[in-house]
């Protein structure tokens, strides 16, 4: 011990290594305590403020929560096993309790879901095309002029910052009720989201091939087309497929503001009926979204698998 504490005449107990360590430890714990307690208090205060602002009060909950269960009770289909698969009777109606009765409007729903998927597909193709072009302008290593890059990045930020349904609301006013407004709204938002992702992929691409194409006298377009695009294409495809999944979800709700697809039916059914029609539409939408997700995930995995084999 003495050999360690030779650096001063006052070799008191407060200078030996163990007590110095303990002192620092105690100080550290105190400091961390102060920070933690402050943060905890802030968190609680923020929570209390949130409860107050959103009027999430016990009495409202007490009246609200039973109504939730009540509501879900009314929208559940009253299926009966003995007539579940029965066909139309002589009067041309399905017996109550059968699937046919529950999905009386099945073909209408299916047509709308078809429209929803087409909307998402068109918007994905258009959005991907625009995003590819804009991503080359926006990527810092690719942009022909810095100010073009900055402008492109701001534009993409705006496109992905505003939610689809808000664009849809505005476009419905401009071009009228119907799927066109939805397609355009989703295209704009997808362009923004994909454009940002694509430009990040571009920024990670190697610039050597670009130098190579530049040196043969290639124009900016040729430098991008031959120098960057082959490097980033697999990533672009994967992101575009993933975006398609999201766009299907989006195109299922833009109908809430009149922009086509199953959304209008969904909104109308939920707003005006509280019977099994609500669950009928909802279930179809969930099924569609899940199937599209699964298929697209498969495709993406196949794509990635193929890439990793190369």
Partner 1 sequence: MSTLTFHAISDADIAAARKRHPKAFGDPFVTTLKAASWAFIVVYLIWSLGFFEIGKLLNASDRAWALMTRMVIWQDMAGWQYANIYKGIAQTIAMAFLGTFLGTILALGLAFFAARNTMPVGVIRHGVRRLLDVFRGIDQIVWGLVFVRAVGLGPLAGVLAIFISDTGNLAKLYSEAIENIDRKQVEGVRATGADTGRIIRYGYLPQILPVFISLSLYSFESSTRSATILGLVGAGGIGMIIIERFRAGLFDQVAFVVLNVLVVIAIIDWGSGLIRKRFIGERGH
Partner 2 sequence: MLEFKGLTKQFNDTVAVKPATFTIPDGQMVGVIGRSGAGKSTLLRMINRLNEPSGGQMLFQGRDVTALKGRALRQWRNECAMVFQQFNLVGRLNVLTNVMSGRLFHHGFASSMMGIFTAKERAFAIRALDRLGMAHVALQQTDTLSGGQMQRVAIARALVQEPRIMLADEPIASLDPMNAKVVMDALRAINREDGLTVMCNLHTLDTARHYCDRIIGMQDGIIVFDGTPKELTDRAAREIYGAEAEEAFSEAMTSTTLRPQPAAQPEARRVVN
- Give the binding site for partner 2 (CB under 8 A): 208-209, 211-219, 221-222, 225-227, 230-231, 233, 310
Report the partner that residue 208 touches, choosing among partner 2, partner 1, none (CB closer than 5 to 8 A by kind).
partner 2
Compute the Cα dihedral for 147, 150, 153, 158 and give only its sign: negative
State the CB neighbour count (10 A cutoff) for residue 274. 15
Report the partner that residue 158 touches, choosing among partner 2, partner 1, none (CB closer than 5 to 8 A by kind).
partner 1
Distance CA 142, CA 203 (A): 8
Task: Give the side-chain half-sphere CA count within 13 A for 184.
Answer: 18
Q: 284 and 113 in contact (C-beta within 8 Å)?
A: yes
Task: Output the six-digit token pair for 206.
Answer: 């190697």
Task: Output the six-digit token pair for 244.
Answer: 């398609």
Report the partner that residue 150 touches, choosing among partner 2, partner 1, none (CB closer than 5 to 8 A by kind).
none
- Which lies closer to partner 2 via its Cβ, residue 169 or residue 226? 226
**Phi-psi label, residue 260: left if phi above 0, alpha if psi -120 to 50, beta otherwise:** left
Binding to partner 1 (CB under 8 A) within 37-76 occurs at 46-47, 49-56, 60-61, 63-65, 67-68, 70-72
Pick one of 103, 247, 260, 276: the residue that binds partner 1 (CB under 8 A). 260
Q: Measured over all CA atoms, what is the biggest interatomic distance in the chain, rounded to whole angstroms?
A: 110
Distance CA 37, CA 18 (A): 28
- Which lies closer to partner 2 via its Cβ, residue 155 or residue 226? 226
Residue window 101-120: x/- pattern of binding to partner 1, with contact defined by CB under 8 A: -----------------xx-
> Which residues contribute to the site for partner 1 (CB under 8 A)?
46-47, 49-56, 60-61, 63-65, 67-68, 70-72, 118-119, 121-122, 125-126, 158, 161-163, 165-166, 169-170, 173-176, 178-180, 183-184, 249, 252-253, 256-257, 260, 266-267, 270-271, 274, 278, 282, 285-286, 289-290
């Amino acid at each position: 011990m003495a050999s360690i504490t030779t650096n001063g005449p006052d070799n008191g107990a407060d200078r030996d290594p163990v007590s110095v360590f303990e002192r620092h430890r105690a100080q550290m714990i105190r400091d961390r305590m102060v920070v933690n307690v402050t943060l905890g208090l802030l968190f609680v205060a923020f929570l209390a403020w949130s409860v107050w602002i959103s009027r999430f009060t016990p009495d409202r909950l007490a009246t609200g929560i039973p109504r939730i269960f009540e509501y879900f009770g009314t929208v559940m289909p009253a299926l009966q096993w003995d007539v579940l698969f029965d066909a139309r009777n002589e009067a041309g109606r399905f017996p109550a309790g059968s699937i046919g009765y529950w999905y009386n409007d099945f073909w209408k729903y299916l047509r709308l879901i078809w429209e929803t998927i087409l909307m998402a597909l068109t918007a994905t193709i258009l959005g991907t095309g625009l995003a590819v072009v804009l991503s080359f302008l926006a990527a810092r290593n690719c942009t022909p002029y810095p100010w073009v890059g900055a402008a492109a990045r701001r534009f993409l930020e705006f496109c992905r910052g505003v939610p689809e349904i808000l664009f849809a609301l505005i476009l419905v006013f401009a071009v009228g009720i119907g799927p066109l407004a939805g397609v355009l709204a989703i295209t704009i938002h997808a362009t923004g989201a994909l454009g940002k992702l694509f430009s990040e992929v571009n920024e990670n691409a190697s610039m050597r091939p670009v130098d190579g194409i530049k040196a043969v006298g290639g124009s900016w377009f040729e430098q991008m087309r031959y120098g960057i695009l082959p490097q980033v294409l697999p990533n672009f495809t994967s992101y575009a497929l993933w975006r398609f999944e999201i766009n299907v979800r989006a195109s299922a709700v833009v109908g809430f503001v009149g922009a086509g697809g199953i959304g209008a039916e969904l909104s109308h059914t939920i707003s005006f009926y509280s019977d099994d029609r609500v669950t009928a539409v909802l279930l179809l939408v969930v099924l569609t979204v899940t199937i599209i997700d699964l298929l697209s995930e498969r495709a993406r995995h196949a794509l990635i698998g193929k890439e990793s084999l190369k």
